[in-house]
Chain A
Amino acid sequence: MKSLADLEAIRKKTLDQVTLRKDEDSVRIVVGMATCGIAAGARPVMNAFMEEVAKRGLENVTITQTGCIGMCRLEPIVEIMVPGKEKVTYVKMSPEKAARVVAEHIVNGNVVAEYTVGAAE
């Protein structure tokens, strides 16, 4: 069983590695988590992003939640903000699509055009 005591070891380990990162350098993943998003399956999508980011050990990525973006029929919606690039909005997301977005967009820098709001409209 995991216990809170493990956290002490994690803290020591990460403090050694982590160079203080500035928020403006980090990639932001924003998941719509209002009633509409949650009902459409936003939670497993968010968990998939978290798992994928953690598995790959991506340190400069932050995952946050937001409310209703206003296109409820296209939920789950995820926005990706890469510093210096235009914001990309992905729609009708799934955990499988999330894994692909992390691999292609966040790691390799290629937007997955077929999942974007532009392709859906």
Chain B
Amino acid sequence: MKELSLHILDIMQNSIVAGADRISLTLVEDSHADLLSFRIEDNGKGMPKEMVQSVMNPFVTGRTTRRVGLGIPLLKAAAELTGGGISLSSREGEGTVIEARFGLSHIDRQPLGDMAGTMLGILTSYEDIVFIYTHRVDEQEYTLNTQEMRDILGDVSFSQPEVMLWLSEYLNENETALYQK
């Protein structure tokens, strides 16, 4: 993966496959603590204890089509390369929480990349899922809750061209604003 946002996209797909209808992503860039971290919390079907312990192993996957799964091992390797790491907790029937921490200024930390594009793709593809996305950069932050959008839009689909264009601009404006002092 070239960007951290691609890892985020990949890990969120796990939540979707687990049948979650509510996924929250909290992304924090804290220059004082020299830390970039993100936390993805879902209410999917969760994993049994043995699976949680073994899921860091690339030869373990929940899929039945083939026997390797690389999403979490790749994220773990990327985090550890920067002096960080990942943690995972899960309860069957309740959901899963995964958190990744990276050294913000570490030379090996991948750039965060296109968060607006990541969120746009996932929000419009899975309209039935409520996403709560918070991105904080030091003192600035914004939150997008798709339930609020749904309440306003009613039956109009997120993938309507007008809505998609609006969402794209909304995300891009808010992401850019986070980095303006």
Interfacial residues, chain A to chain B (CB-CB below 8 A): 1-4, 6-8, 10-11, 13-15, 18, 33-35, 38-39, 43-44, 46-47, 50-51, 53-59, 62-65, 67-68, 70
Structural contact, A62 and B156, CB atoms closer than 8 A: no
Q: Contacts A43-B117, A43-B121, A50-B121 given: A34-B153 contact, CB under 8 Å?
A: no
In the assembled complex, how far is the CB of residue A25 from the closest CB belonging to chain B, in whole angstroms?
Answer: 15
Q: Contact string, B132-158, partner A, CB cutoff 8 A, digits 1/0?
A: 000000000000000011001111100
Q: How far is the CA of A54 from the CA of B121 in the complex (A)?
A: 13
When distances are taken between beta carbons in the complex, the residues of chain A under 8 Å from B50 are: none
Structural contact, A63 and B124, CB atoms closer than 8 A: yes
Within 8 Å of chain A (Cβ to Cβ): is B9? yes
Structural contact, A38 and B10, CB atoms closer than 8 A: yes
Q: A4-B149, A15-B156, A64-B125 are in contact. List 11 more A-B contacts (CB 8 A).
A: A2-B173, A7-B152, A8-B152, A11-B152, A34-B13, A35-B71, A39-B1, A43-B9, A47-B117, A59-B161, A65-B126
When distances are taken between beta carbons in the complex, the residues of chain B under 8 Å from A63 are: 124-125, 159
When distances are taken between beta carbons in the complex, the residues of chain A under 8 Å from B160 are: 10, 14, 18, 59
Within 8 Å of chain A (Cβ to Cβ): is B94? no
Interface residues on B, range: 35 or more
Structural contact, B163 and A47, CB atoms closer than 8 A: no
When distances are taken between beta carbons in the complex, the residues of chain A under 8 Å from B159 are: 50, 62-63
Q: How far is the CA of A47 from the CA of B119 in the complex (A)?
A: 10
Structural contact, B166 and A38, CB atoms closer than 8 A: no
